[in-house]
Amino acid sequence: MKNPYRDISAAILRFASDFANENEMTALNLDAHADPESWPEGDFIGPSDVVIDFGDGEIKVTMAFVISTQSDTNLHRMDELVNLLVNKLQIGQRILVRDAIAGTPKGYLISHLGVRAGAVLNTETQPAKPVFVNLISDLALLRS
């Protein structure tokens, strides 16, 4: 099997993009926009601190999806968005992985070990909240 790094990265960004479209916000790869000064105006979601482990015959992903809202007094909108995201990432929920070039389905990343909503990150520009998740590839599980 070829290295699925690109497919997994694309699947994670696609999940964020789908969530953004469902909730009228912007999606971006926060690993490419680490400086809050480069963040877009308005509400957004993006993957951050993505670590993909290819060891021991399993493929595991540890990461955060960061949600940020703007002009959100008392962060009520952020709380609702975090609630929706946590529901989508509960143990057993799946993220479809497609071949990043051909678009054909390859398998799933499955949430395991629970989800954790972190503390609000108060930046100079706008607040952001990370939602941490651990994922495992179903292809890796089939081999073990």
Output Rg (C-alpha) for the chain, integer angstroms.
15
Q: Which residues contact 42 (CB under 8 A, 6 or more apart)?
A: 25, 26, 70
Share of the chain above pLDDT 70, in %: 94
Q: What is the pLDDT of residue 11?
A: 97
Return the amino acid letter for 122: N
pLDDT at residue 143 greater than cutoff 60: no
Beta bridge partners of 61: 52, 135
Q: Which residues contact 63 (CB under 8 A, 6 or more apart)?
A: 12, 47, 48, 49, 50, 51, 132, 133, 135
Q: Structural domain tally of the chain?
A: 1
Q: What range defines the domain where residue 83 resides?
A: 5-143
Q: Could you tell me the CATH number of the domain that includes residue 35? A: 3.30.2000.20
Q: What is the pTM of this model?
A: 0.91
